[in-house]
Amino acid sequence: MTVAIYLPSQSNTDWWVTLMQGLLPDWDITSMASVTDPATVDYAVVWQPRTGDIAKFENLKAIVSVGAGIDHVLADPELPQGVPIIRTVGKDLTQRMQEYVALHVLRHHRDMPRQLQAQAEKDWHSIVVPVAPRRTVGVMGLGNLGAASARVLAQIGFSVRGWSKSPKSIDGVETFTGDSELDEFLDGCEILVNLLPLTPATRGILNAELFAKLPKDACVINCARGQHLVDDDLLAALESGHVKQATLDVFHQEPLPPSHTFWDHPAITVTPHISSRIDAETGGRLIAENLKIFDATGTCPDVADAARGY
């Protein structure tokens, strides 16, 4: 079997080629740039492929996304229709997201930014907040990462609610479904965590209209995609004081340009898309496993639904 690999950085691509050669020693693993006969390529392993990169492989059996989202693959307007897309998910990715979500929810819950400001001023300023059961945290998206994060928040003791497209039942989590229940979900949600996939329905969902439905002093955590957020709407909501704090891990442009207002904003915490970056060796093992299963059976559990966009 022939696998062609593309990641935006050449050194990253070379690293992945070596890794996958070690994991699939009987397969022919190459970088996309080194493919001489596109008709021989069976699988493409990609992150942010360029327009037309994948269309040239006329006999492609599947595309592998080096990550949980498939939006970066679907963004290619020349993407061939009907080729299965395999996501890279797993315990490692879920665990990392649970840690990130717990850390930043707790940080907002205990008002650490204000507490650290008091320390900087040598001010013995005690901030006493309600206990977790009296704090409502909402998770948008109850897939692999959202459901796992909601569970951890419930275990800590928060009053947790979750929102998804189809009905869900998760222990300790009050669930809401579809657009008709979005307002009810948002009402009273003091800390909002976004873990939706990027699709036409969710692009720009973190906007002025949504912020207005949160209670005053709400905090927003976006660890899904930068394109979910309307940047200016967040800045306006922070300026007005309706939203108190935000933690942003993902951005319209990555790396976030040095001139961007978010870097210096006193109410925004910026992290560089690390909430759940898969460890490459673990990711490689998952990809190799999925490729072997797909090659033997024609499918695997991590095949995404390209028609619905995630």
- On whether the CB atoms of residues 161 and 173 are closer than 8 A, the answer is yes
Nearer to ligand NAP, 29 or 93 (CB): 93
Residues 277-306 that bind ligand NAP (CB under 6 A): 277
Could you confirm whether 225 is annotated as catalytic? yes
Single residue of 143, 203, 252, 262 touching ligand NAP by CB under 6 A: 143
Tell whether residue 145 is a contact of ligand NAP (CB under 6 A): yes
* Coil vs helix vs strand at 97: helix
Q: What is the Cα–Cα distance from 30 to 72, expressed in whole angstroms?
A: 21
Residue nearest to ligand NAP (CB): 143
**Residue 60 sits in the site that holds ligand NAP (CB under 6 A):** no
Interface with ligand NAP, residue 250, by CB under 6 A = yes
Task: Sketch the per residue contact string, 168 through 187, with ligand NAP: x for CB under 6 A, - otherwise.
Answer: --------------------
User: Which of the residues 104, 108, 109, 225 is marked catalytic?
Assistant: 225
Contact 23, 284 (CB under 8 A): yes
**For 151, what's the count of Cα atoms within 13 Å in the CB-facing half-sphere?**
15
Which of positions 185-244 make contact with ligand NAP (CB under 6 A)? 195-199, 201-202, 223-225
Cis preceding linkage at 25, omega within 30: no
Of 273, 280, 282, 285, the residue at the interface with ligand NAP (CB under 6 A) is 273
Minimum CB distance to ligand NAP, residue 45 (Å) = 17
Q: Which of 204, 200, 243 is nearest to 220 (CA)?
A: 243
Q: Cα 223–90–30 angle (5° rounding)?
A: 100
Q: Which of 84, 90, 141, 284 binds ligand NAP (CB under 6 A)?
A: 141
Give the binding range for ligand NAP (CB under 6 A) out of 232-240, 269-277, 284-292, 294-302: 269-277
Six-digit token string for 200: 């036409």
- Here's the x/- map for ligand NAP, 12-51, by CB under 6 A: it reads as ----------------------------------------
CA distance 243 to 192: 11
- 43 exposure class (CB count in 10 Å sphere: 0-12, 13-18, 19+): buried
User: Of 273, 277, 285, 308, which is the active-site residue?
Assistant: 273
- CB 133, min distance to ligand NAP, A: 24
Query: Three-state DSSP class for 111?
Result: coil
260 catalytic? Reply is no
Helix axes 112-120, 91-109, angle to 10 degrees: 60
3-class SS of residue 155: helix
Distance CA 253, CA 264 (A): 16
Of the pair 52, 204, the CB lying nearest ligand NAP is at 204
Contact residues for ligand NAP, defined by CB under 6 A: 67-69, 89, 93, 141-146, 163-166, 195-199, 201-202, 223-225, 249-250, 273, 275-277, 310
Q: Which residues are catalytic?
A: 225, 273
